[in-house]
Chain A
Amino acid sequence: MPYSLDFSVVIERLPELLLACLATIGLAIAGMSLATVIGLLGVVARRSHLPALRAVVIGFVEVIRNTPFLVQIFFIFFALPQFGIRLNPTVTAIVALGLNGGAYAIEIIRGGVDAIPKGQVEAGLALGLHRAQILRHIILKPALRAVYPSLTSQFVMLTLTTSVCTSIAAYELTSVAQKIEADTFRSFEVYFSITVLYLIISSLMMGVFAVISRMFFSYPVK
């Protein structure tokens, strides 16, 4: 008997799926925020005068970037309880996404900061700006503007990575899809529809990033 596609199960449970989309977007935003904080702190630590601190940051970046996200999230979820650190799936997902995205953010932002000519910082000092002002206006703003495209495409990837959080049964789109699949056995229909939903989410995200770029970074360079 040939298989006939039946998308009615997906339509029936669309409200559930849309709610799960919001959960996915929420996870992504939380992960991105944590990643940005880790990225900025990491860059500052990476430029510190303490060799040990620099080494820790370099080690963190290399370990995260050269191991799969799945192993990282398993490690946090299953191994950390041995040290008495027990996090629920959602918190684990946010921490894992934040650490993973943070390592990439450190590398990306560092590239932008390194590209700032030293003369600009010296000019700032000569004008009597204090350290925080120099960091904010002379280093961070132009650096973030320069790395904005790579940073945001990394964030879109982070959004797509949230799907892996289903492996620890965190509440998000993929885990809800797996539940619906188990109820209905309509595997292809369910996953195909979810894929379309992810495509919409990532396109929306790119649109929002483009708008933000126009709002904050559209001042003339020269």
Chain B
Amino acid sequence: MASIGPNELFFLMQGLKWTLALTAIGFVGGGVFGLLVALARVAESAVLRNATVAYIAIFQGTPLLMQLFVVYYGVALLGIDIDAWIAVAIAFTLHASAFLGEIWRGGIQAVPKGQTEAAKALGLHYVSIMKDVVLPQALKISLPATIGFLVQLIKGTSLAAIVGFVELSRAGQIVSNQTYRPLMVFAIVGLIYFLICWPLSLWGARKEKRLQTAAR
């Protein structure tokens, strides 16, 4: 039985680096597209609204793992020669855009209608109404759910392991196979995820409690 030394820990840290990178790309990319999805979801055009409803329903009604597989092999089919990690990053971005879009839609609709009406009466145009009046309030309302999704996304990046991408979970699997110490290795891997996700969860719960108190 081999032991878990600095080399193994270093390997896990390399995996962790990819977990964090995938999360960051998915969250930022998903944030940008998610904003568009949310705006389209509450748009005046029925076509745009229905299209985003379908988009969100598809991503929420299928496993993240399948989304990874379909994008991963779909990109290859298109004949685009890109690195595996870019394909995986695209999949996470699409996934996150649907979920964040739905979360922020809720936030936008929770802003009292009078706010939009008042802004319109003041002669503000669409961009200004959204950017200066509605979105700042909507994002504040949806902050707890957004943090909750971030935690889900961090955990979700572990599924890239099944596609063969070496992030933290896959690194753990490799080290476990080499050292024959699954108990120790998966405990360490789990602990690393926990140390990243738990503070975020606590932060989200605190924000939510404060929001509830403010609403009362």
Contacts and interface: CB of A to CB of B under 8 A. Distances in A.
Given A66-B201, A188-B73, A194 B161 contact: no
Interface stretch (A15-23, A89-97, A119-127, A195-203): A195-203
A203 B63 contact: no
A209 interface: no
Q: Is the interface of A mostly helix, strand, loop or mixed?
A: helix
Interface string A158-181: 001111101100000010000000
Contacts of A195: 62-63, 66-67, 69-70
B186 A75 contact: yes
Q: Is the interface of B mostly helix, strand, loop or mixed?
A: helix
Contacts of A3: 77, 79
Given A3-B79, A74-B173, A78-B176, A62 B189 contact: no
B106 interface: no
Interface in B170-190: 172-173, 176, 182-183, 186-187, 189-190
Contact of A174 (B66, B173, B193): B66
Interface residues of B, number: 37
Interface string A80-111: 00100000000000000000000000000000
A198 B155 contact: no
Interface of B: 58, 61-67, 69-70, 73-74, 76-77, 79, 151, 155-156, 158-159, 161-162, 169, 172-173, 176, 182-183, 186-187, 189-190, 193-194, 197-198, 201
